[in-house]
Amino acid sequence: MTFRPFQYHAPATLDEACAHLAEHGPEARVLAGGTDLLISLKQDLWRPRHLVDIRGIPELRGVLPLPDGGLRLGAALTLAEVIAAPEVRAGYPLLAEAAGSVAAPTHQAMGTLGGNLLLDTRCWYYNRSRWQRLAVGGDCFKLDGTACHVAKGVRDCYATFTGDTAAALLVLGASARVTGPSGGRTVPLAGLYTGDGKAPFALRAAEILEAILLPPPPGHFHGAYRKFRLRQALDFPLAGLAVGAQFRAGTPICEEMRLACTGVDTAPRRLPEAEAVFAGREIEEPLVEGAAAIAMRAARPVRNMASTTRHRRAMLGHLCREGLRAVRAARARELAATGDGRLGTGDPQGEPAP
């Protein structure tokens, strides 16, 4: 597995980077940490003649407070930088938890937040060397082939999105700031994803993901990220689930629940039906079971990764239970620490037990 020749560009500004992408069109690709891209080049999945390295662009590297109390994270920050940022640890520990679950520390030291959010969709039949792909039946839809080796007779590509941080950022209500030759635009994070395994990102020609914008940290909020992978030390999620619950002040009652999954579909996504179970309620076991069952039904894994689809679906339910119990326990600890007598009364108004 060797690289085909390419020209390396190291622009100092975002405008310069966009200009390179515009000039070379489909022959150019953005290079960030390279932890996924460089492997894909060796596997001959893409053949760009120009790589535009964005790591030297200052706008893409900062952690900046926003006027509304939110936070701007440059897309070229490494995951290790995101995890270590005091603003992230204090205001958005859910993001630090998800970023800390990506691969292994060496990948976190090189891999970037932007690269994680724009991680190409994956499939057993695609992420292989050229000769291995030939051995399993040749190129598939994702590589301009004429078949899908996973689901026979279909017309679409079902390659799976497996980035870890996207689920956490969906729960945190993040937006994406993208910039291209004709200017910048901000879209809700979900708007970055098309749901098409072949062309999974809604970026226009020569656009770069510049930053992630987080709203102000929510009050009375607890989050958790849970992930199923075969090798605990380093592996993509076969299923991943982020939970975020905003509680009514001084009570264990959930004002708003957010759940998002990754690794079980062509795009990361929220699970609104499972979220709705908790509105104005405590996170009680029957509701936890109900939400887990909904999450399992909503998942759309296909047979394109290790483990069976049935197992991945079941594991998503398990992650959902684990995550919900974790936020419930965190809220209970917080209320106990503040000596709040209303904890665990089961009373929807949160009144103290008699």
For 298, other C-beta atoms within 10 Å of its C-beta total: 19
Angle (nearest 5°) at CA 214 between 55 and 299: 95
Q: Whole-number minimum distance, CB 249 to ligand FAD, in Å?
A: 35
Q: Is 323 in the site for ligand FAD (CB under 6 A)?
A: no
| R_g over Cα of the chain | 21
The verdict on 95 binding ligand FAD (CB under 6 A) reads: no
- Is residue 275 a contact residue for ligand FAD (CB under 6 A)? no
> Does 37 interact with ligand FAD (rule: CB under 6 A)?
yes
> How far is the C-alpha of 171 from the C-alpha of 141, rounded, in Å?
31
Among 14, 18, 28, 31, binds ligand FAD (CB under 6 A): 31
One of 14, 18, 28, 32 touching ligand FAD (CB under 6 A):
32
- Which of 97, 120, 275, 282 contacts ligand FAD by CB under 6 A? 120
Q: Could you say whether residue 126 binds ligand FAD (CB under 6 A)?
A: no
Which residue number, 75 or 259, has a Cβ lying nearer to ligand FAD? 75
Tell me how far, at minimum, the Cβ of 309 lies from ligand FAD, in Å: 19
Greatest distance between any 2 Cα atoms in the chain: 75
Indicate whether 294 belongs to the interface with ligand FAD (CB under 6 A): no
Residues in the chain: 354
Q: What SS3 state is found at 188?
A: strand
Does position 1 interact with ligand FAD (CB under 6 A)? The reply is: no
Interaction between residue 119 and ligand FAD (CB under 6 A) = yes
Q: Which residue is nearest to ligand FAD (CB)?
A: 115
The one among 18, 54, 171, 320 contacting ligand FAD by CB under 6 A: 54
In terms of C-beta distances under 8 Å and separation of at least 24 residues, what long-range contacts does 284-292 make, across chains too? 284/346, 288/320, 288/321, 288/324, 288/325, 289/321, 291/259, 291/320, 291/324, 292/317, 292/318, 292/320, 292/321, 292/324
Question: Stretches 28-36, 82-90, 314-322, 326-334: which one binds ligand FAD (CB under 6 A)?
Answer: 28-36
Q: Work out whether 33 is an interface residue with ligand FAD (CB under 6 A).
A: yes
In this structure, what is the dihedral angle of CA atoms 196, 198, 200, 205, given to the nearest 10 degrees? -120
Choose, by CB under 6 A, the member of 208, 254, 277, 294 that binds ligand FAD.
Answer: 208
CA distance linking residue 119 with residue 105, whole number of Å: 17
Q: Cβ atoms within 10 A of the Cβ of 137, count?
A: 11
- Binding residues for ligand FAD, rule: CB under 6 A, are 29-37, 39, 54, 75, 79, 102-103, 107, 110-112, 114-116, 118-120, 162-164, 208-209, 234-236
